[in-house]
Structure 1
């Protein structure tokens, strides 16, 4: 076999490997679009199936966020808006319906879904849909599927990582910063900021003095809050 033939063969093999990789990546992306989960409707009824938290396009109502749901893996999907739901869990992440606080708007929507980052008496919420008063605008939804499905009304907010972050009209846009809120429920949400971060997070994580010590030592801030959440969950789980 000549050198030219060998080089040509290697070139063909490299192209074949690239095509295989792109096909596998495309299949993975399609698989990640639908996550196992459940929703709680406005009557409190829980339905389990598969959820696409970022369907894109226009939903049933222009001023409401929405998701896509199907009962079985190969069944016909349908839309569910915030007026249909109390909450939903997709993969490892939990979301609840919320109204933008005060005079704020979330990508021109009055109601949208916010992720429950920490489910304690004082909760931490996150969204990318924040408008005025938020730390970021943006529309993009990031999805990091998990293997576990949460339990309870809101599911579990454990697992670490950014996970799914809903806000805006889905289907693209700039991948801007998450905006974080705190409150005993979505009706009392206020912005978590650099100025109030230490006091608020110390209160939220008060049951874990070791974590509070790290917060007050300025080892964590709003820029790496997800790392703090992962650390908090790890310490909390170590007691169980």
Structure 2
């Protein structure tokens, strides 16, 4: 009995430390509110777990490291920039529980990245505050363990998209990146394959071949 109690005590402490500790990262960014207001400051977002929120998703916002933290639900966000990534909010019913999309390529046919969390231990922490346009009583969610699942979608806008499947990779990505023939050539000769999307995006944007693990 003592052993079980000790294990539970240690586990509880470990979960609490992870929920409040360095797992959550903050980035400089901007929130474009549905009211038309624009908020610059620090933003934190983590890919949500299935069922983590009853509906949609949220970000955390603070004006600076000394200010109060506000949770902002997805329905009050038009778009936001967090670090190097630009996010939009999809109203497609397929993304009801994970409406935030990273705009990976803003071309005529756009490429969107959707990140969701794999299985782990979801935790909800009460913020105990909030007000104004930010909303009140929205919990801060965090998850211990698991990983991140990345899925790509393409389309003309955030609400009308198609999932990028492996068998469509060459055709679809060649069309999206048609403005750079040298990139298309490397797609067609299979220098870049379905699993190399991030490397392909780096090459498309910079013109530099990214180093891979076997290059070191």
Indicate whether the TM-score tops 0.5.
yes
Residue 71 of structure 2 is matched in structure 1 by 79
Aligned counterpart, 2:205 = 233
User: Which residue is equivalent to 2:118?
Assistant: 138
Deviation for aligned residue 1:127: 1.5
1:166-216 CA-to-partner distances (Å, cap 9, x unmatched) read xxx752453243111001111111101111111111111111000011111
Tell me, yes or no, if the aligned pair for 2:79 and 2:88 is still in contact at 8 Å.
yes
**What does the per-residue CA deviation read over 1:126-181, in whole Å, with 9 as the maximum and x for residues that have no partner?**
1233xxxxxxx7268xxxxxxxxxxxxxxxxxxxxxxxxxxxx7524532431110
Task: Tell me if structure 2 keeps the 8 A contact 1:55–1:170.
Answer: no
Higher strand share: 2
Task: Give unmatched runs, 5+ long, in structure 2.
Answer: 1-17, 121-140, 209-216
Q: What is the match of residue 164 of structure 2?
A: 192
Q: 2:195 aligns with which of 217, 223, 236?
A: 223
1:116, CA displacement in angstroms?
1.3
Q: 2:59 aligns with which of 63, 67, 70?
A: 67
SS in 1 for 2:31: strand
Q: Secondary structure at the match of 2:43?
A: strand
Unaligned stretches of 5+ residues in structure 1: 1-25, 130-136, 141-168
TM-score, reference length from structure 2: 0.68
CA distance in 1, matches of 2:47, 2:190: 39
Deviations 1:59-91 (A, max 9, x none): xx6211000001122100101111000111111
Q: Give the root-mean-square deviation of aligned CA atoms.
A: 2.9
Task: Specify the structure having the higher radius of gyration (Cα).
Answer: 1
1:99–1:110 CA contact under 8 A, matched in 2: no
State the match for 1:117 in structure 2: 104
Cα contact 2:115–2:150 (8 A) shared by 1: yes
Closer, same or farther: CA 204–92 of 1 in aligned 2, 3 Å: same
What is the TM-score when the length of structure 1 is the normalising length? 0.61
